[in-house]
Amino acid sequence: MRPTTFYDAYVFDLDGTIYLGDELLPGASDLVQTLRERGKLVRFLSNNPTRDPAMYADKLARLGLPTPVADIANTLVTTTRWLGEHHPDAVLFVLGEEPLCRALREAGFRLSEDPAEIDVVVASYDRTFDYRKLQIAFDALWFHRRAVLIQTNPDRFCPFPGGRGEPDCAAITAAIEACTGVTCAVSLGKPSPLMLAEALRGHDLDPSRCLMVGDRLHTDIQMALDAGMDSALVLTGESTRDDVAARPPDQRPTWVVERIDHLLPEGRTNQRS
């Protein structure tokens, strides 16, 4: 089955939904261009904290889908905004990569590796994670007992083309929790509704007239369910039909499609791709 009418707004996951690796997925260009031509709000979300929105905009442009930076939000955006609202004067220790560190510094935060002055430990996707960094987090949280632990996203691994993957933020968070006994206070990526709020910021929209589209049941689809929004699982990424069938009926996506342009109402495809 596919929708019979258009929604007012569409929020798309990126990797595994719009593209995989360095190629647009079949039907993605046709769908997005059709929605834009009809004046629908189109926004993009990602849990990947190793790129900023400008980097995503550059990639989409290279793939033939030019997109304003303002139409893209990821965990760099939500983490920076949440810290600004809840811990504006905090000294941060970031277990993450340069785009996240740069975004936080540009927002006015001071980053430190001195456990005695760290207020917030920010766990993230960090391919330079080592024992030294774990010790700093341990000292700030367990020994000095002054810091709180947050994470940019709850993903256990990041999928790659060909079925491979890399350990993601949840692995870093788990290591810190295991040695300190401290529980992560907040997760700022999908499925947190904060991500949808960021994507739709500035627009007064009825959630029932919005659609969240993604390839992961436990992040993209769960976030939509928690926000009271319709959802669509596209079978071009991680989750499968068997995964859907294994969930209780009230925890399943509204739509399940083989390719993303099947979200266009019947007979509305422009046949560009």
Task: Check whether 158 has a pLDDT greater than 90.
Answer: no
**pLDDT tens-digit readout, 167-216:** 999 999 999 999 999 999 999 999 998 899 889 988 989 988 999 999 99
174 Cβ neighbours under 8 A, 6+ residues apart: none
Topology alike, domains 9-47+191-263 and 78-187: yes
pLDDT band per the 50, 70, 90 thresholds, residue 270: very low
CATH code matching the domain that covers 78-187, chosen among 3.40.50.1100, 1.10.10.10, 3.40.50.1000, 3.50.50.60: 3.40.50.1000
* pLDDT, mean of residues 122-141: 98
Contact in structure between 49 and 124 (CB atoms under 8 Å): yes
Catalytic option among 15, 52, 168, 261: 15
Set 13, 30, 139, 220: catalytic member: 13
Q: In this predicted structure, what is the pLDDT of residue 267?
A: 62
Q: Which residue did the predictor score with more confidence, 158 or 42?
A: 42
Q: Examine the pLDDT at 73 and tell me if it is beyond 60.
A: yes
| Stretch 95-117: mean pLDDT | 97
Residue 67's pLDDT band (cuts 50, 70, 90): very high
Q: Please confirm, yes or no, whether 114 is among the known catalytic residues.
A: no
The pLDDT mean for the chain works out to 93
Over 90: is that where the pLDDT of 164 sits? no
According to the model, what pLDDT value does residue 2 have?
A: 87
For residue 104, which of 127, 88, 115 has the smallest C-alpha distance? Answer: 88
Burial of residue 84 (number of CB atoms within 10 Å: 0-12, 13-18, 19+): middle
Of the listed ranges 47-51, 86-90, 149-153, 182-186, the one predicted with least confidence: 47-51
Say yes or no to pLDDT of 272 above 80: no
Residue 159 has pLDDT above 90, yes or no: no
**pLDDT the model gives residue 128:** 96
Fold of 9-47+191-263: Rossmann fold (3.40.50)
The predicted pLDDT at position 268 comes to 59
Euclidean distance between CA atoms 162 and 181, whole angstroms: 36
Alpha helices in the chain (DSSP H): 28-37, 53-62, 75-86, 98-106, 131-138, 169-180, 193-199, 222-227, 241-245
How far apart, in whole angstroms, are the C-alpha atoms of residue 263 and residue 40? 14
β-pair type (19-20, 110-111): unpaired
Q: Using CA atoms, how far apart are residues 57 and 46, in angstroms rounded to an integer?
A: 12
Radius of gyration of the chain (CA): 19
Helix (H, G, I), strand (E, B) or coil at 254: coil
Query: What are the structural domain ranges in the chain?
Result: 9-47+191-263, 78-187
Would residue 206 show up in a list of annotated catalytic residues for this protein?
Answer: no
Amino acid at 97: E
Q: Residue 162 burial (CB < 10 Å; 0-12/13-18/19+)?
A: exposed
Length of the chain: 273
Band of pLDDT at residue 74, cut at 50, 70 and 90: very high
Tokens of 135: 């010790």
β-pairing, 41-46 vs 157-159, is unpaired
Secondary structure E strands in the chain: 9-13, 19-20, 23-24, 41-46, 72-74, 91-95, 110-111, 120-123, 148-151, 157-159, 165-167, 186-187, 210-214, 230-234, 255-257
By percentage, how much of the chain surpasses pLDDT 70? 97
Nearest Cα residue to 169 out of 239, 103, 75, 88 = 75
